[in-house]
Amino acid sequence: MSSLKVKLGILAAGLMLSGCMQATHFEATDTKAFKPKDKELLAKVRYENTPVAEPFRRAIVDYHRKESPGSILVDSDNHYLYYVLDGGKAIRYGITVGEEAMAWSGIAKVGSMTEWPAWHPTPGEISRLGVPTYVAPGPDNPMGSRAMYLYSGGKDTLFRIHGTNQPEYIGASISSGCIRLTNEDAIDLYNRVKVGTIVVVLEPKHGDSPYNSRLALQGGGSNGQAGSY
């Protein structure tokens, strides 16, 4: 799919969502929470820091589901990640998700967390994308400012929640399976979660979680095709 078609699709989706959205409280980025290294590296990015379409901007919204406060829910169909708050509210972030063949769904936990991670592409990504075997941390690294590594059944799923050097694709399905946020949103989410945080990734075209709290506590899940980007 060409980049122009993807961008037009994001714009169209944004216009449709904006017509049926509930009232939301959009959140400005709090740069006071950035560390000196964050400010230094974000000032050096060479990618175009494209503004996110309004429906995918970080916002505090009503949350009707039953996930516990402090957990994460990923709605890949609608390109949203929710960090659940108390009182029936959640912080909603716009995301880039994997193409359908590379999607992952299930229950996971944040197994580890890294600031300004290196990128270690999988063999499939190296073959498919023609990328090097290692990309050092930095402002233009595809993993971005933060990475939260998803584990299921005690094992690394190879899927991550991480930043991006392609903010223009927030609201699209183009990744190798990982869940991407803007670098600013990745920092914000990273500051809220901890190792052990439950992450529920809904199945495609599945409006409610097929999992109950018992499975969540066990870290059960179902893998799709593995990817790390």
The residues that are catalytic are 162, 178
Residue 122 structure tokens: 């999988």
- Six token digits for residue 4: 């122009």
Structure tokens at 92: 């909603």
What is the residue-wise DSSP string for the chain?
A: --HHHHHHHHHHHHHHHHTTPPP-EE----GGGS-HHHHHHHTT--S--PPPPGGGS-EEEE--S-PPTT-EEEETTTTEEEEE-STTEEEEEE-BEE-GGG--EEEEEEEEEEES--B---HHHHHHH---S-B-SSTT-TTTTEEEEEEETTEEEEEEEE--S-GGGTT-EEESS-EE--HHHHHHHHTT--TT-EEEEPPTT-SS-S--HHHHHHT-EE--S----
